[in-house]
Amino acid sequence: MEQEIQNELETITRLTNMVIDFFVNYSFQVIGAIIIFLLGLFVARSLAKFALKLCEKHSIDVTLSLFIASTVKLLIIAMILVICLGKFGISVAPFVAAIGAISLSAGLALQGVFSNYGAGFTIILTRPFVVENTIEINGISGIVKEIKLAYTVLSTEDGEMITIPNKHIVGEVITNSFEYKVVEASIGISYDSEPEQAIELISQCLEGFDEIPESPAPQIGIEVFADSSVNIAYRYWVPTERFFEVQYQVNLSVFNALKQAQIDIPFPQREVMLKQA
């Protein structure tokens, strides 16, 4: 029993001596590391705020500004951690090698995700479109509501939200009509009618809608000489959010105007001749 107590006392003594030796040998290094780390955090936050203000001063996109500020902060903190570990005599080379290997494995596993981030970074830098622009990509059309590093969100007139991964945007043909979208329509009149009168009536109808801008001006003219009619085409711009609403109202207005002016709107006709043997 006495022997066991003696062994426990010796163990406690050795641990106490080890703690005392550690604080005697490394107390200044520990204090220095803590001070350096706290100062490093302060410097990292200050430089991140400075980078954010600098980006705002030069009107850089908000998403890109936040990304730059966060990157600056993380890089400085990483440098401070390396310096603090060096204060304890710990070599950072094995950690750097391990981080490199892990990063390579993660990069291969998440290359699809990283490609979206890279494409988002490209979109923010080149700015082929901005929020509230109307774009069309691979048959998908909508108003840009959000531009994130990983994806872009579009909205439609029906209230639908379309999320497109950025890697499917970069490198594709993008049609940007800004806040407007063009409407293309046509109506046929008989060959006995006056096309000038029909064009004037359609022009008056378009002028009656406040949603249709004066610039670019609507375009109206003869589109084609069809078998049963002369087709009058008209093109005009409307706000994307009211595209279908205005289009339907304009079509009704044009139809009523031509009808009241007694301009014949023919339907397809075909002559059939019977021959007797």
pLDDT digits (tens, 9 = 90+) for 259-269: 999 999 887 76
Pick the more confident residue, 165 or 67.
Answer: 165
Residue 267 within any structural domain of the chain: no
Full residue range of the structural domain in which residue 85 is found: 7-109
- The CATH number covering residue 145 comes to 2.30.30.60
Residue 110 pLDDT greater than 50, yes or no: no
Enumerate residues 6+ apart whose C-beta is below 8 A from 148. 63, 120, 166
Residue 4 pLDDT greater than 80, yes or no: no
Which DSSP symbol is given to 139? T
49: tokens are 């705020």
- Measure the CA–CA gap between 245 and 238, rounded to whole angstroms: 10
Min mean pLDDT across 61-75, 88-102, 135-149 is at 88-102
> Does 145 share its domain with 219?
no
Residue 80 within any structural domain of the chain: yes
With cut-offs at 50, 70 and 90, classify the pLDDT of residue 126. Answer: confident
Pick the more confident residue, 175 or 107.
Answer: 175
Residue 166 pLDDT greater than 70, yes or no: yes
* Per-residue model confidence (pLDDT) at position 183: 94
Our count of domains for the chain comes to 3
> Does 137 share its domain with 212?
no
Q: Which of 109, 140, 166 marks a domain boundary?
A: 109
Cβ proximity of 258 and 198 under 8 Å? yes
Q: Which of 178, 212, 237 marks a domain boundary?
A: 178
- The CATH number covering residue 231 comes to 3.30.70.100
* Per-residue model confidence (pLDDT) at position 107: 55
Q: What does the mean pLDDT of the chain come to?
A: 82
Q: Which residues of 80-100 are buried (b: 16+ CB within 10 A; e: fewer)?
A: bbeebeebeeeeeeeeeeeee
Longest dimension (CA), the chain: 137
Residue type, position 138, single letter? N
> Does 205 share its domain with 239?
yes
Cβ proximity of 166 and 113 under 8 Å? no
- Measure the CA–CA gap between 35 and 41, rounded to whole angstroms: 10
Min mean pLDDT across 49-58, 220-229, 249-258 is at 49-58
> Does 144 share its domain with 224?
no
Looking at the DSSP bridge assignments, the partners of residue 153 are 146, 163
With cut-offs at 50, 70 and 90, classify the pLDDT of residue 63. Answer: low
CA distances from 204 to 17, 21, 248 (A): 99, 96, 16
Pick the more confident residue, 162 or 82.
Answer: 162
* Per-residue model confidence (pLDDT) at position 241: 86
Residue 45 pLDDT greater than 80, yes or no: yes
> Does 28 share its domain with 58?
yes
> Does 170 share its domain with 213?
no
Residue 24 within any structural domain of the chain: yes
Residues 30, 36, 37: CA angle, nearest 5 degrees: 90
Give the torsion sign (CA, 68, 74, 77, 82).
negative
pLDDT digits (tens, 9 = 90+) for 75-94: 888 888 877 776 666 666 66
- Contacts by residues 155-158 (CB-CB < 8 Å, ≥ 24 positions apart): 157/240, 157/241, 157/242, 157/243, 157/244, 157/245
Burial class (CB in 10 A: 0-12, 13-18, 19+), 189: buried
Peptide bond into 216 cis (omega under 30): yes
